[in-house]
Amino acid sequence: MKLDWISPADRLSALPPYVFARLDELKARAREQGLDLIDLGMGNPDGPTPQPVVEAAMEALQNPANHGYPPFEGTANFRKAITDWYARRYGVQLDPDGEALPLLGSKEGLTHLSFAYVNPGDVVLVPSPAYPAHFRGPAIAGGDIYPLLLKPENNWLIDLAAIPEEVARRAKILYFNYPSNPTAATAPREFFEDVVAFARQHQILLVHDQAYAELAFDGYQPTSLLEIPGAKEIGVEFHTMSKTYNMAGWRVGFVVGNRHIIQGLRTLKTNLDYGLFSVLQTAAETALQLPDVYLHEVQERYRTRRDFLIRGLGELGWNVPKTLATMYLWVPCPPGIGSTDFALHLLGETGVVVTPGNAFGEGGEGYVRISLIAECDRLGEALRRMKDEGIHYKAWQSG
Ligand SMILES: Cc1ncc(COP(=O)(O)O)c(C=O)c1O
């Protein structure tokens, strides 16, 4: 029986079209044809979860005490591990009872935060380009998204001075993310100070997504929002175990910061889910306690790939500046071709999958994002195929 008379709720039609869907379709077709795809599209880390984390999970799994519903607010041990990690990493003191909340992956929390705080018509400030959950969550909640256009000449930082006074006055939430997905931009501490001052002046809830803070190179140390005096009065910061610890499939994240804001999210979540499997919380606790040598290895892996790919793209005419963090390169499309067409062309001609920049909002048009999720031999193969197919930044310009 056809069910086309059952239409989805209006909130679904508020969502911008999903650029990945067409790419996925073409990827599936290419695979069917036996093409050897080099998939640098998603931010899905390619390494295994650290062995001590896997072992902690296996041991926790054997304990029947972990088999029931977990506590809504997360286990006391994981919350303590989170706040200890914050103290160690950033010198920020947090109360594990109320200022830290485990999540079913940070995407879940980022999205649900807007369900907890955005009423239809509320203005939500979101950079463009941005990680899609930052605008799709508020869109589903019925928010009025005001895109903050990021520009290369401003190092992809939000230009607070460009936000009209009237918009700032009406805005309820600002989502932001440095080190950034997709631009790989980093923000100096002064930028965080300016954002906090702006948010306090206009009474805006600040949501900072710190997903890539551990994947930093060349001695660069990303700033936490919560290091800034006064930030905890108006803001929260989201983290994920997915990237740093190769735990994307485990679905563990957490949010820290303002108690009142976290309480709103928690209230919503008690109506939606039963919290995170205790076994996963034990595993995540172990990950946060791993010695720094683990972190250095991960950073070194991505740094090596970054250098390799920037050098190789340079030989094909691209001038990609060195990134100080994240697992991405943000690469301009050759002049005269848009993001989607370039990504599709690359896929069709070489089997190399990258993400069109416009998947991250209109501000990403003209760029593609390349994830550093393959070893250098595969990245080298991708570059070789591009060379063989004449995919060259400047050649494109003239031809
Ligand atoms: C900026 C940013 N935040 C959050 C996430 C989602 O992380 P999680 O796996 O914890 O849901 C991602 C994943 O790509 C991301 O890039």
The residue whose CA has the least distance to atom 14 of ligand 1 is 43
Question: Whole-prediction pTM value?
Answer: 0.96
User: What distance in Å separates the CA atoms of residue 249 and residue 241, rounded to the nearest whole number?
Assistant: 10
Question: Ligand 1 pocket test: which of 40, 110, 131 has the largest number of ligand atoms within 8 Å of its C-beta?
Answer: 131
What is the token pair recorded at 272? 């939606």
Check residue 399 and give its pLDDT. Answer: 47
Check residue 323 and give its pLDDT. Answer: 96
Average pLDDT for residues 97-118, to the nearest whole number?
A: 98
Check residue 30 and give its pLDDT. Answer: 84
Over the chain, what is the mean pLDDT? Answer: 95
User: What distance in Å separates the CA atoms of residue 221 and residue 71, rounded to the nearest whole number?
Assistant: 34
Question: Ligand 1 pocket test: which of 20, 181, 210, 355 has the largest number of ligand atoms within 8 Å of its C-beta?
Answer: 181
Question: Ligand 1 pocket test: which of 238, 240, 328 has the largest number of ligand atoms within 8 Å of its C-beta?
Answer: 240
Find the 240 Cα to ligand 1 centroid distance in Å. 7
What is the token pair recorded at 111? 């999205």
- Tens of pLDDT along 190-208? 999 999 999 999 999 999 9
Find the 369 Cα to ligand 1 centroid distance in Å. 15
Contact 63, 56 (CB under 8 A): no
Find the 106 Cα to ligand 1 centroid distance in Å. 6
- Tens of pLDDT along 264-294? 999 999 999 999 999 999 999 999 999 999 9
The residue whose CA has the least distance to atom 16 of ligand 1 is 181
Check residue 398 and give its pLDDT. Answer: 47
- Ligand 1 pocket at CB < 6 A: 43, 105-107, 131, 177, 181, 209, 211, 240, 242, 248, 253
Find the 178 Cα to ligand 1 centroid distance in Å. 12
CB atoms within 10 A of CB 46: 16
- Tens of pLDDT along 8-26? 888 887 777 766 777 788 8
Contact 372, 328 (CB under 8 A): yes
Measured CA angle at 228 (ends 223, 230), to 5 deg = 155
Point out the ligand 1 atom lying closest to the alpha carbon of residue 177: 1
Average pLDDT for residues 139-144, to the nearest whole number?
A: 94
Find the 238 Cα to ligand 1 centroid distance in Å. 9
- Tens of pLDDT along 45-54? 999 999 999 9
The one-letter code for the residue type at 187 is A
Give per-residue burial for 225-236: e unless 16+ CB within 10 Å, then b. Answer: bbbbeebbebbb
Contact 285, 248 (CB under 8 A): no
pLDDT band at 397, cuts 50/70/90?
low
The residue whose CA has the least distance to atom 6 of ligand 1 is 107
| Dihedral sign computed on CA atoms, order 185, 191, 196, 198 | negative
